[in-house]
């Protein structure tokens, strides 16, 4: 070997070993290890009818069927909104000044599926599946609130502007680092009467807190509004929209591309054979009425 080529050889060798190590590490968290381990761990936060906490829910059934499709055992791992992303990626998350993963912590699951909204900050940390459900954030109030619903114009941006103006009329619950984060909807520093909701950091607790007069209004996403209006009929009212339509999806580690690919292919099959819409009608029968554009898509409804 000529002088000077030793360094190049060593550099190439080290690069190759590092690449192989990274590939092995990635594969260790991907579909290969899951099949070898014989179980897929479903990280879920009890929320709306995606994860009931009692062994059923839209996302629970989808992941259970996916486990069967892979030929592995299904295992549910309960989490909460504060920790669920960290328990998927195995790192702590800092949100200020910008979102970033730091340090290490145990990985507790392989897939998040619990009505997880696709948000820009989250996309920096995890990869999403194809959409599993539509959503949007609306403003909700107690039925006895003095705040009146907007008069819909048919122009969504105009309706959103009118709804935001209502935030000056009463206290409104918001929740940081969630789909109800006021920063996502340009609500900070506008003189709105925003009130941070932190009790147990559970979205399921927001409407009960409003009904207990802890706040007069709250931001809430549409799937939870559908459930809440059925659960507390006549006790709450919708004021108007806060956001454009959003999408929910399952979440995966960025080191699990093959697992994500397999899930997407499986979900496409559920939509094409009608299983997906059967599950929607089971858990969110009114959803196609509230968010018709998503469910009009022939690839979803047929």
pLDDT in tens, 85-139: 999 999 988 887 778 888 899 999 999 999 999 998 899 999 999 999 999 999 9
Res. 217: pLDDT tops 80:
yes
> Are residues 83 and 90 in contact, defined by beta-carbon separation less than 8 angstroms?
no
Banded model confidence at residue 5, pLDDT cuts 50, 70, 90 = very low
What integer pLDDT is reported at residue 53 of this predicted model? 84
Q: How many CB atoms lie within 10 A of CB 226?
A: 20
Beta pairing partners, 137: 221
Of the candidates 116, 86, 96, 135, which has an alpha carbon nearest to the alpha carbon of residue 178? 116
Give the tokens for residue 125.
Answer: 């940390």
For the segment 223-249, the average pLDDT, to the nearest whole number, is: 94
Of the candidates 41, 120, 52, which has an alpha carbon nearest to the alpha carbon of residue 87? 41
**Where do the domains of the chain lie, and which CATH numbers do they carry?**
30-134+247-301 (3.40.190.10), 137-244 (3.40.190.10)
Buried b (16+ CB within 10 A) or exposed e, 35-65: eeeeebbbbbbbbbbbbbeeeebbbbbbbbb
pTM recorded for the entire structure? 0.83
């Amino acid at each position: 070997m000529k002088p000077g080529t030793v360094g190049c050889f060593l550099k190439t060798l080290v690069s190759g070993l590092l690449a192989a190590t990274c590939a092995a590490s990635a594969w260790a968290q991907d579909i290969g290890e899951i099949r070898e381990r014989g179980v897929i761990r479903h990280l879920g936060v009890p929320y709306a009818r995606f994860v009931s906490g009692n062994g059923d829910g839209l996302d629970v059934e989808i992941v259970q069927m996916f486990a069967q499709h892979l030929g592995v055992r299904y295992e549910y791992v309960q989490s909460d909104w504060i920790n669920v992303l960290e328990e998927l990626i195995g790192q702590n998350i800092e949100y200020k000044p910008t979102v970033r993963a730091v340090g290490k912590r145990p990985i507790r699951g392989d897939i998040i599926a619990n009505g997880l909204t696709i948000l820009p900050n989250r996309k920096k940390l995890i990869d999403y599946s194809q959409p599993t459900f539509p959503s949007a954030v609306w403003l909700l109030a107690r039925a006895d609130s003095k705040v009146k619903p907007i008069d819909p114009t048919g122009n969504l941006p105009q309706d959103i502007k009118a709804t935001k103006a209502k935030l000056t009329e009463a206290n409104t619950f918001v929740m940081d680092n969630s789909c109800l984060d006021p920063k996502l909807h340009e609500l900070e520093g506008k003189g709105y009467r925003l009130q941070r909701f932190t009790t147990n950091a559970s979205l399921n607790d927001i409407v009960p807190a409003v009904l207990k007069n802890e706040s007069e209004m709250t931001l809430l996403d549409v799937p939870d509004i559908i459930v809440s209006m059925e659960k507390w009929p006549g006790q709450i009212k919708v004021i108007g929209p806060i956001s454009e339509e959003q999408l929910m999806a399952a979440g995966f580690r960025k080191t699990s591309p093959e697992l994500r690919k397999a899930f997407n292919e499986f979900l496409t099959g559920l939509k094409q054979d009608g299983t997906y819409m059967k599950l929607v009608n089971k858990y969110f029968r009114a959803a196609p009425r509230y968010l018709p554009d998503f469910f009009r898509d022939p690839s979803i409804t047929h």
